[in-house]
Amino acid sequence: MSLLAPATIGTIPGLQAALDAKAPTASPTLTGQSVLNGGTLTNPAVTCQLNVTWNDAADTFDLLDLNITDTASSATSRGLRLRTNGVEMFSVRKDGEISGISVNTSGAVRSQQKLWCSGPTPKVVLGDSQDVALGRYSADVLEVTNGTAGQRRDLMLRSLWDSGGNQVVGTREAAVADATDAATVITQLNNLLAKLRTHGLIAP
């Protein structure tokens, strides 16, 4: 082979076979642990990018399909875990629990939200202490609990509106003094009616 003339891959002994051995197949299979190290990036770049074209309206496609055979593992085992500077930001547990964490500009954790989609009572749990949750109580009824159905918690609102767009609860009104005679009965009753109208509990 002349080094002065252009050479094809096939003319270089062993090169074609070596490239074929290293090149991925159409459906490669990885066995064992795999680690992808993207190195240090100093400019905008994508560490891992998947490109695919779906072109059949009659088919349902999946971009990622992760399947875990759970023979034995801790209840808190995760199928997906995303971290920033070692701090977990988002995870999906094997039982379907989804957890997300919000941090401030200095990196301190501000709040943590959890979503359970498994089990008989799906619910959203707010905060690290997991003592407040939103869940379904019955048909068309939302319940505020401590994460367990029936263990209800308080709900604080600035205002509450009905389905017609009318405010029914607002800022707490001042106390109404007890009536002391016939004249004050009418005065205080009108006072109460005014407050009910203010809160939208009765029509203006």
Query: What is the Cα–Cα distance from 130 to 146, expressed in whole angstroms?
Result: 7
Query: What is the Cα–Cα distance from 160 to 155, expressed in whole angstroms?
Result: 11
- For residue 112, list its beta bridge partners: 101
pLDDT of residue 1: 43
pLDDT of residue 107: 54
pLDDT of residue 170: 79
- Asked if 104 contacts 110 with a C-beta cutoff of 8 angstroms, the reply is yes
Tens-digit pLDDT string for the chain (204 aa): 444 445 555 566 666 677 667 666 667 676 777 777 888 888 888 888 888 999 999 999 999 898 999 999 999 899 999 988 888 888 888 988 888 876 555 555 555 666 655 455 666 776 666 677 777 777 787 788 776 666 777 777 778 887 778 777 777 788 888 989 988 999 999 999 998 888 888 888
Token pair in block for residue 135: 């869940």
Q: How many residues does the chain have?
A: 204
- Asked if 167 contacts 159 with a C-beta cutoff of 8 angstroms, the reply is yes
Token pair in block for residue 190: 């009108």
pLDDT of residue 2: 45
pLDDT of residue 52: 92
Query: What is the Cα–Cα distance from 97 to 114, expressed in whole angstroms?
Result: 7
The dihedrals phi and psi of 173, each to the nearest 5 degrees, come to -85, 165
What's the pTM value of the predicted model, to 2 decimals?
A: 0.57
Strands of 53-194, DSSP E: 78-84, 87-93, 98-103, 109-116, 123-126, 132-138, 141-145, 160-161, 167-169
Q: Which of 136, 120, 128 is nearest to 102 (CA)?
A: 128
pLDDT of residue 71: 97
